[in-house]
Amino acid sequence: MSPEKLIYMANQIAIFFESKPVTEGAAGTAAHINDFWEPRMRRQLFALIDAGTPGFRPLVLQAAAEIRRPAEA
């Protein structure tokens, strides 16, 4: 998946949860990604975050601490 598409998808999830209190929004964003994104997508997400790729909404970056990091392929 292109980095732009993955960032867009993560940000769409965060936008939905931004109406909640920050802690609840981060937990909801993380839970959605944990429940519905396959390990390959989460691996790519962390590769982009770890590289400091710009474009992620703050809530995505905050939720990253609660997203399950898959084992390296």
Long-range contacts of 6-10 (CB under 8 A, 24+ apart): 6/41, 6/44, 6/45, 6/48, 7/48, 7/53, 7/55, 7/56, 10/45, 10/56, 10/57, 10/60
Query: How large is the average pLDDT for residues 41-47?
Result: 98
Is residue 55's pLDDT more than 80? Answer: yes
Stronger pLDDT, 36 or 72, i.e. the higher one = 36
Q: How sure is the predictor about 9, in pLDDT bands with cuts at 50, 70 and 90?
A: very high
Distance CA 8, CA 27 (A): 19
Q: How sure is the predictor about 72, in pLDDT bands with cuts at 50, 70 and 90?
A: confident
Query: Model's pTM, two decimal places?
Result: 0.94
Is residue 73's pLDDT more than 90? Answer: no
